[in-house]
Amino acid sequence: MAQNPSGRWDETSLKTMASNFLFETRDQRIYRMIKNNPNKPEPLCIAAVDEIWRQKREGLEKLIPERFRDASIADLGYMTGKVVTAMEEVLAPPTRNFNDPVGLVFCGPAGSGKSHTAYALLRWMAERNPERIVYVDSYAHLVQDLRSEFSSDAYTDLGATWDILNNISGLYPGLIFIDDLSSQKPTDFETDKLMMFLENRVNNYMPFFITTNVRSADFASVFGERLASRLAGYSRIIDFETFDKRFPGSEKKS
């Protein structure tokens, strides 16, 4: 990777390295590995790609809460087609049209299966290309990290949570997943940071994925008009059922 005379990484090189190959398939990655290493045997190139992706998958698995470690796309039943189609739309190369979706939002009451479905979808994505996913965390932990970074001026550091959310360094254009966006009215600090995060990702076609207990009809009253507008205007929103899947006897309502 190129460096300038001051010893800092060249920003253009960083962004090119990070984004050009983000969404390639395994076969495409293997082809590029072989092409870039003509003196290495093809089986070695194939093994190298598989090992890199295996390690990345293992890293992602560690970010998934224990409760959802076995969540599978096979669990989703009638929801499978809907959620997979929505995610594929979000991850598709942008057409630069106004209506290009950038985010996917699962919303509905606690226990309706949002998080289970979300982690199943993330695991399904990781199996196909783990490099698509660059951040996985709960909203509560995210806010805690941001408060710590901004209080210590560490938000400007390479690899800081704020850098990852906004892709400031150009290394993190992939999918950001935030679980359980609070149903409490956000503080001024949270509103400010959420607006900056959403504006940047929407304007630069960088995908995000959010779950929240807030129903879509209540976005404006809870999050405020501006945040609600960004979430609703540039996302595929899936409202989950009103029954609680965690309790025996719950049934799907018509």
CA distance 228 to 232: 6
Which residues, at least 6 apart from 74, have a Cβ–Cβ distance to it below 8 Å?
none
* pTM for the predicted model, two decimal places: 0.81
pLDDT digits (tens, 9 = 90+) for 59-105: 999 999 999 999 998 888 888 899 999 999 998 887 777 778 899 99
Q: Which CATH superfamily is domain 70-239 in?
A: P-loop containing nucleotide triphosphate hydrolases (3.40.50.300)
* Joined tokens for residue 223: 């999050």
* Joined tokens for residue 83: 């959620």
pLDDT of residue 25: 81
pLDDT digits (tens, 9 = 90+) for 113-149: 899 999 999 999 998 889 889 999 999 999 999 999 9
pLDDT of residue 22: 61
pLDDT of residue 245: 57
pLDDT of residue 142: 96
Helical packing angle, 188-203 and 225-233, nearest 10°: 30
Of 102-106, 167-171, 178-182, give the lowest mean pLDDT range: 167-171
> If you ran DSSP here, which 8-state letter would residue 162 be given?
H
Q: Reply yes or no on whether the pLDDT at 252 is more than 50.
A: no
Which residues, at least 6 apart from 208, have a Cβ–Cβ distance to it below 8 Å?
102, 103, 104, 175, 176, 177, 178, 197, 198, 201
CA distance 213 to 211: 7
